[in-house]
Every structure is written in structure tokens, then in C-alpha cells.
Amino acid sequence: MNKSCEMYQMELMDVHYGESEMTEELRSHLDGCEDCSRYWAGLGELETSMVFPEFEDPFKEIVLDKLMAERENKSGRKRNALDFAAFILLAGLFLGACLALVFSGHAVALSKIYLSIFMVAPLMLPFLIKRQMTKGAHTNGRA
Ligand SMILES: [Zn+2]
């Protein structure tokens, strides 16, 4: 490779990256010089092999699985936070209602409400369990 070829290849690099135009002189040198035309073709190959990497399928799957799991975890955490907020709100309302009853002199009515809750709550247990189980199935169903 002589000095002018090196120069031409620098120019080809510039042309390849859009920093200068393909000149008439460069074109005619490419036609006549095997070294430089191979270099020019190599620039194009380098581009395609670097811009479009081909993932192996297992690798792609692992990455996608991790991304999906990450996303599900996030939405699950958000849902738990919402459940917790709703629970706090309801508990606060319930406690407030109880205190209001006690301070307005309805402690007896309150004790009756308590009793009825103790009677009703165990009946609700199967529904709560079922809800918890369907929720779990939704979160883990993809695994
Ligand atoms: Zn050359």
C-alpha cells in the first residue's frame, strides 16, 4: 500500500461517515485499486454487522423473560400498595365510626355491631381466600 492509497482510504472513511462527498478522483481510484475497493466494501460490512447484531434465541428469551418479570413485579408492587392504602382508609373510617358511636353514647349499639362482625367475618373468609388465590394465580400464571 503506497502513500496515496492511505490518503484515499482516509477520504473513503470520511465519505462513509458522511463527512465528505465521493469525488470523481476517489471513484476512479476505487475502480482501479483492489486494496481500496476492498477497504471500501469492508466499511459497509462493518456497518451492517455492528448496527444489526443478531441475538441468539435463548439469549433473547432470557432478556425478554427478565423484562417481563420486572414489569410484573412493578405492577404487583403497585397493586399491593393500593390495597394497603385502601385498607388503611377503611380501617380509619371504621375506627372513626366506632369512636363516634362511643362518644355519642351508643356503646351498646357498638357492642352489637362488634358481635355481628364476629358472626359475619368467618363467613367471609372463604371469599377472601379465593380472592387471594386468584390474585396469586394472576401474578404467577406466566411462570
Ligand atoms: Zn488505493
Q: State pLDDT tens for residues 14-52.
A: 999 889 999 999 999 999 999 999 999 988 887 666 655
Residue 10 C-alpha to ligand 1 middle, in angstroms?
11
pLDDT at 48: 66
Against a cut of 0.75, is the pTM above it?
no
Residue 131 C-alpha to ligand 1 middle, in angstroms?
75
Residue 35 C-alpha to ligand 1 middle, in angstroms?
5
> Which among 95, 126, 92 is positioned nearest to 113, based on CA atoms?
95
Residue 21 C-alpha to ligand 1 middle, in angstroms?
17
pLDDT at 142: 46
pLDDT at 143: 44
pLDDT at 94: 85
pLDDT at 15: 93
Residue 29 C-alpha to ligand 1 middle, in angstroms?
6
Residue 48 C-alpha to ligand 1 middle, in angstroms?
23
Residues of the chain with pLDDT under 50: 1, 141-143
- Sorted by where each begins, the domain ranges of the chain are 3-51, 57-140
